[in-house]
Structure formats: structure tokens, C-alpha cells
Amino acid sequence: QKEVEQDPGPLSVPEGAIVSLNCTYSNSAFQYFMWYRQYSRKGPELLMYTYSSGNKEDGRFTAQVDKSSKYISLFIRDSQPSDSATYLCATYVTGGFKTIFGAGTRLFVKA
Amino acid sequence: EPEVTQTPSHQVTQMGQEVILRCVPISNHLYFYWYRQILGQKVEFLVSFYNNEISEKSEIFDDQFSVERPDGSNFTLKIRSTKLEDSAMYFCASSSGTGTEKLFFGSGTQLSVL
């Protein structure tokens, strides 16, 4: 079983739509959950991170973690063409140094 | 805004040759990392480095790989004898504290082994 699973998409939405991106994970020891955005041929850029279960909001972005179902989500409100990128969920075991990434979901927002 | 800088952006080499990929992490960061991404695949952890020693490494990081912080600003990844399967984008990252939830990545070095 893969540690972090993420649907690679692609996901295509019209400008202004609400986008929902999701991942599942297998290891209950994971405590921190991150979302990175990656533009083509660039390094990942941290968007948000959450600790344990719950929601965290930052502008148009909301990250949600449900530890009971091992499910993490990123919601993007009022999506813009500039949001077109690959979104990577990630996690690690507290005290460790290795970040484990999902495969990434490619998002296209059409103007 | 401070950023992680990687050079070169592209490196082409012949199989069996040694390559050194260079990185300048963010100046007040203490933890340094190398990740790689083969085209179309996941970003994969290679190694982490703290206090002048490797803190964790993956099974990919075998004896052909080494890391070094030769001075107060640079962080390097050396591949001693490159293989075709080493062709990938290599990302350097750094973080300020013990939590790896906030990694700052460079733009990467695209390594092509011919």
C-alpha cells in the first residue's frame, strides 16, 4: 500500500469554480500534512500545512484533515487561471526528516 | 524574499562521469535536503543534512551519492559515477527548524545522463 495516494488528474475547471483536491494516506503516525504547488519545471512551493485533524484557512485556500478516515483535502475558492499548476499533498512522521509526497494532481483553470 | 538557489539549471553528462550539483540554501536555515523527480513521477526524498552530518537518507542514496557543506553557504550533491537512471530533476531544499513541514525548494537542476 502506498504511503500517500493522490489522483493525478488532470482536473479542468472554469474560472471562478471551487476546486477540491484530495489525498489519502496509510500511516497513522503522520501528524503534519502539507500542500505544495508546483509549476512546470519548477520546485514545489509550500501553500499550507496543518497539524493533526481540523481545518486551516488562508485566503482562498482551505486545508482539511480527517485523521479518522486518513483523508486530506485542499479547497480553492474562486479559482483563477494563475492557479493552474500541479498540487502535491505531503506528510512526514514527526521527528523524521523525510517528506513523503503524493503523485500530484494537475489542475487547469480555464479563463 | 530569500530563496534557495541551485546551479546549474541544466547539466548534461556522459554515463560514468561524476557530477556535482550545487545549492545555496536560505542563509539562516539549518536543515538541508536533496530531493529528485524523475519526469512524470513523484518528488522523492534523497537525503537530509544537519550539523554537518547526514540525519536521514533514503534507499536511493547509495554509495554513489554524497553530500557536503564545504563552507557556510553552499550545499552540494555529488554523484560519483552517473547512470542513465540518474536522469531527473534534482531539487535542493532547506528549512529553519526541526519541523520539516516548511520546506523551501530551489528551482532544480535538470540532470541528463547520456
pLDDT digits (tens, 9 = 90+) for A25-71: 999 888 899 999 999 889 999 999 998 888 999 999 999 999 999 99
Residue B92 and residue B86 in contact, taking contact as beta carbons nearer than 8 Å: no
pLDDT at A94 over 90: no
**Best B43, B47, B53 residue to mutate vs chain A (most A CBs within 10 Å):** B43
Q: Given B41, B100, B110, which is nearest A97 (Cβ)? A: B100
Is the minimum CB–CB distance between A41 and chain B shorter than 8 Å? yes
Structural class in CATH, domain A4-110: mainly beta
Residue B72 has a pLDDT of: 80
Residue B112 and residue B87 in contact, taking contact as beta carbons nearer than 8 Å: yes
Is the minimum CB–CB distance between A97 and chain B shorter than 8 Å? yes
Domain ranges in chain A are 4-110
Is the minimum CB–CB distance between A31 and chain B shorter than 8 Å? no
Amino acid identity, position B25: P
Q: Which of A110, A91, A101 is CA-nearest to residue A19?
A: A110
Residue A53 has a pLDDT of: 83
Residue B100 has a pLDDT of: 72
Q: Output DSSP code: residue B101.
A: T
What CA–CA distance (Å, rounded) separates B63 from A29? 30
Residue A41 has a pLDDT of: 84
Residue A1 has a pLDDT of: 64
pLDDT at A2 over 80: no
Are A100 and B41 inside 8 Å of each other by CB? Answer: no
* Three-class secondary structure assignment of B29-89: CCEEEEEEECCCCCEEEEEEEECCEEEEECCCCCCCEEEECCCCCCEEEEECCCCHHHCEE
- Record the cell numbers describing residue A38, joined without a space: 508546483
Residue A92 has a pLDDT of: 87
Beta-carbon-side half-sphere exposure of residue A75 (alpha carbons within 13 Å): 11
Q: Please give the CATH architecture assigned to the domain spanning B5-97.
A: Sandwich (2.60)
Beta-carbon-side half-sphere exposure of residue B29 (alpha carbons within 13 Å): 28
Domain ranges in chain B are 5-97
pLDDT digits (tens, 9 = 90+) for B9-58: 999 999 999 999 999 999 989 999 999 999 989 999 999 999 999 999 99
Residue B99 has a pLDDT of: 66
CA angle, residues A46, B95, A108, in degrees to nearest 5: 15
pLDDT digits (tens, 9 = 90+) for B57-90: 999 999 999 999 988 889 999 999 999 999 999 9
Residue B114 and residue B14 in contact, taking contact as beta carbons nearer than 8 Å: yes
Looking at chain A, the whole-number percentage of residues with pLDDT higher than 70 is 99
**Best A5, A33, A98 residue to mutate vs chain B (most B CBs within 10 Å):** A98
